[in-house]
Each structure stands twice: as C-alpha cells, then as structure tokens.
Structure 1
Amino acid sequence: MARKTSTAQRKRIEADLTKQLKDKEIKGTHYEDLVQDYLAMWDLKNKLIEDIEELGVKVLSSQGYKSNPAINDLNKTNGQMLKILSELGLKAAPDDDGDDGEW
C-alpha cells in the first residue's frame, strides 16, 4: 500500500517548523532556507519510499539482483533531515490531525 502524502501535509510541516523557529525567536533568511531544504528532502524521502514500494528492496541489474539503491539514499536523506532539525534546534512534532493521538 502506497504512503499517502499531500500538499496539505507538507504545508502543515512547514508551518510547524516555522512556528517553532518563531517561538524560539530564531530569525534569519538562512534559517528559513534550511526549512526549505528540509522540505525538499521530505519530498525526496517520499519519492524514495515510493520507489522502494514499487520496485521492492531488490532490483534486477546486469549482474543479477542487488539491493535497491533507493534504500541507501533513503537512509542518507533521513540522516540529513535529522541534522537540519538539530541545526535549527527543532524537533519533529506530532501531526495534529484531530484524532485521539493513537497510532
């Protein structure tokens, strides 16, 4: 089953990160740019996940089956996303979608 991502979800993440910057009184174009970098990586992360879901963890190459390169790229992208959050002094916040907070 494919992950559901949406423009609305992306906008909520952007608003949340921007609000956290404002609440911490962190200002500057550099920080706003880092938020945009984070969002670009979020987009990339979702595409990599779609690739893995579509092609699987193993892909056929000229030498036979090998690990899907998207898996390594996904790990690197997640690591960079965490570094950006750390550099900004922010943390991922729970999605406020109105449910009772259970998974």
Structure 2
Amino acid sequence: MENENIEISEIVKAIKISKEYIKIKKDLIKQLKLMKANIPTFLSQINDYMSMWVVKELLIRDIETRGVIASYNNGGGQSGMKKNDSVTDQIKVNAQMLKLLDALNIKSTTLVADEKDEM
C-alpha cells in the first residue's frame, strides 16, 4: 500500500509539471485577469479547479488501465467483476469542474476564442 501511495504521488507530480496542466492553469488565470477578477479568492478557486483536474486525470488513467469493468477480490474468498467506480467518479468530478468554471464566469467559448486569437 505504501509503495502504491508513493507511485501515485510521483504520477501527481508528473501531472502537475505537464505542459497541459501549466497551459490550462495559465489560461484560467489569464481569463480572470481579463475580467479584472484575479483576486486571492478567485485564484484559490483556480487552484481548486486544478486539483480536480489532477483527480480527473488520475481517474482517466485508472479507467484506461483497469477498464470500465474491473476485477475485484475482497480477500474473503469473494472475487469477480464489477463496474469501475472511477467511471462514475470521473463524471462527478467533471460536473464539479464545470460548476466551478460557471461560478467564476469562465466559459469554454472564451477558451476557444483565445486560442484562435493566438494563431
């Protein structure tokens, strides 16, 4: 169990230094600045969003690794197949992420418009 936690910790570190993570966080902060809303409270919310983004990435990796249906063994002689809870969890995390963006008044159309402007 301890080795598994160390492995996950290393994966989280790798996700947090990935180009995608950095680009998304910078873009969200940029949008707050454009709205003149880059105050500590909202910047903290961006950090919360990025934490959820990391969790989403971990859930996606779990689904890719174990599949939608995963085997289980409860140690009491029972084993079999069950749905991978990461699928449901990913949907919940995505919903929270969208709610947070909505609360910050950040729209996906803004993201697309900014990317077109940069080209």
Question: What is the TM-score with the length of structure 2 in the denominator?
Answer: 0.71
- What is the aligned counterpart of 1:68 among 66, 77, 84? 84
Aligned-residue identity in percent: 35
More helix by share: 2
- What is the aligned counterpart of 1:28 among 39, 46, 50? 39
Moved over 6 A (4+): none
Q: Report the CA distance between 1:63 and its aligned residue.
A: 5.3
Structure number with bigger Rg: 2
Higher relative contact order (CA 8 A, sep 6+): 1
How do 1:6-85 residues align onto structure 2 when only pairs under 5 Å count? 7-61=18-72, 62=78, 64-85=80-101
**Unmatched runs of 5 consecutive residues or more in structure 1:** none
How many residue pairs are counted as aligned between the two chains? Answer: 93
Question: What is the TM-score with the length of structure 1 in the denominator?
Answer: 0.81
* Amino acid of the structure 2 residue aligned with 1:48: L
Distance 1:12 1:32 in 2: 15
